[in-house]
Amino acid sequence: MPTSHIMRYVRTTLVTAGAVAGAAAALLLVSLMLPVKVWRTGELPTVPLPVAPARADWPAPARLWIDTDAACGQGPRTDPDDCLALLLLAQEERVEVIGASTVFGNAPLVDTDQTTRALMAFIEGEGGPRIPVYRGSWAPMAHVESPAAAPPPAHERLRAALGQGPLTIVALGPLTNIALGLKDHPELHANVTRLVAVMGRRKGHVFHPIEGATARSFLGHGPVFRDFNVTEDPEAAAAVVAMALPMTLVPYEAARDVAVDPAILDRMADRGGTAAWVAQRARHWLTYWREDIGLEGFYPFDLVAAAYVIEPSLLHCADVPIAVTEDTWLFGWLGYRGLFVAADNQADSRPQAAGSALYCPDVSEHLAAWLAERLTSTPDRDRQRTVSIATR
C-alpha cells in the first residue's frame, strides 16, 4: 500500500476516534444536566443493611491514639474536619489521648504536622491535656517503606503505646501509619481494642454533597468526592484489612446527615480559645460549600468518627464483610480501588484484601444537636479551672 494511502488511513482513523470521544464526552455532559436519579444521588439501589445503635467494646476512660492529616486553614478547599475531631476528643474526660501521629493526606506532611502541633499547643495552653505529636508518613506505603527511607518516629511510638496495653486507634486520614506501624508486629494486634477509620462505601455509590438537587458548579451537578482516605493509599488500606483488627468504618453516608453551619462556627468563636481558632480556620471551607456546592453547611466527616468514640450509640452500624478491590463502576477505568462493603452478594471474586467490620451508614436523630452542644459549650474541665482561678 502506498505511503500516501497509509497516512490517509491513519488520519481518517484519528479523526473518527476523536469524533467518537467528543460525542461520548458531550453525551456525558448532557447526562449530567439531566435529572437522572443515579447521577443526582450518587447511589445505585442496594439491599438495606441491618443497622442498630453501636455499643462500645472498650473501657472508659479509653486509651486513645489519633492518626490525623489535619490541615484546617491551609487552603480555601482544605477541610477542617480533623481539627473539629481533635478538639472534640481532646476535651473529653472519658478518653485518655496517649498520642497523635501525623500523616500526609489533606495536605503535605509538613503542613499536617504543623497544624496538628499548633492545635495541640492551643489545647494544652488553655488547660487541656498535653498530647504528644509524632511525625508520620509523608507519602503512600510503597514510598515510605523504601529501604532508602528512614522510618518516621510515629511508627515506633505507636508500637510502644500498643506494647503498654489496649489502645483504641482513630484514623482520620490514610492508613499508612497504621499499616507500617503494625506491619511485622502481629504480637501487637491483640492490643488494638478497635480501629475507627473514616472510609468505606457500598458498591455503586459515589459521594455527591448535593444529592438529588442542583449545585452551583459543574453543570448543576456539583463535585464528586472520592473515598479520599482509601484512594490516597489503597495498599495501606488493604494491609490493615488483612490484619483482621476489630474495625469500625465511618463513611460519607453517616456524615451527610450532619452539617456544621455558620451559626455553629459563630458560637465556637464566641466560646473563644481553641474553639475560636478552629472556627476561624473553617471559614474558607464553609464558603466553598456555600458558593460551589450550594449548601449552607458542610459535612464534618472526621467529627462524626470522633463522636462514635465518645458515644457509640449515636451511630447505627452493621457487622458486614468488607473488601479492598477495584472500583468496578464509575471510577474503575481510572484504576481506582476502594474499600467496599461486600454485602448483598456483591463480594468481588479477586479482592486485594478481605475481612469484616462494623459499617456505620446511619446516625441518631440526636447526633447533630449533641455535636453542636459539645463544640460550642465550655467543657466541664474548663469550667472547673475557671472557678478554681476565680477563687484563688
pLDDT value for 380: 58
pLDDT-above-90 percentage for the chain: 64
The reported pLDDT for the residue numbered 240 is: 97
What pLDDT does residue 359 have?
Answer: 97
Cell 452478594, residue?
345
pLDDT recorded at residue 205: 81
**How many C-alpha atoms does 179 have within 13 Å on its Cβ side?**
25
The predicted pLDDT at position 350 comes to: 59
Confidence bin at 46 (pLDDT 50/70/90): confident
Locate cell 496495653: which residue? 165
| Bond before 312 cis per omega within 30 degrees | no
CA torsion angle for 263, 257, 301, 275 (degrees, to 10)? 20
State residue 386's pLDDT score: 35
78-82, 160-164, 228-232, 326-330: segment of lowest average pLDDT: 326-330
Q: How far is residue 294's CA from residue 288's CA, in Å, rounded to a whole number?
A: 9
Residue 97 clears pLDDT 60, i.e. is over it: yes
E-strand ranges in 69-122 read 95-102
Least confident of 168-182, 205-219, 277-291: 205-219
Asked if 159 contacts 187 with a C-beta cutoff of 8 angstroms, the reply is no
User: 82-96, 178-192, 205-219: which has the minimum mean pLDDT?
Assistant: 205-219
The 10s digit of each residue's pLDDT in 311-338 is: 999 999 999 999 998 876 655 555 678 8
Cell 474536619 sits on residue: 81
CA dihedral 114, 116, 118, 119 (to 10 degrees): 160
Average pLDDT of 38-58?
83
Among the listed residues 365, 363, 357, the one whose alpha carbon sits nearest the alpha carbon of residue 340: 357
Per-residue pLDDT band at 368 (split at 50, 70, 90): very high
**pLDDT (tens digit, 9 = 90+) per residue, 133-162?**
999 999 999 888 777 678 899 999 999 999
Q: Whole-model pTM?
A: 0.87
Q: Can you give the length of the chain in residues?
A: 392
Is residue 381 scored above 60 in pLDDT? no
Residue 293 cell numbers, joined = 456546592
pLDDT digits (tens, 9 = 90+) for 108-120: 999 999 999 999 9
Domains along the chain with CATH numbers: 52-382 (3.90.245.10)
pLDDT tops 50 at residue 363 = yes
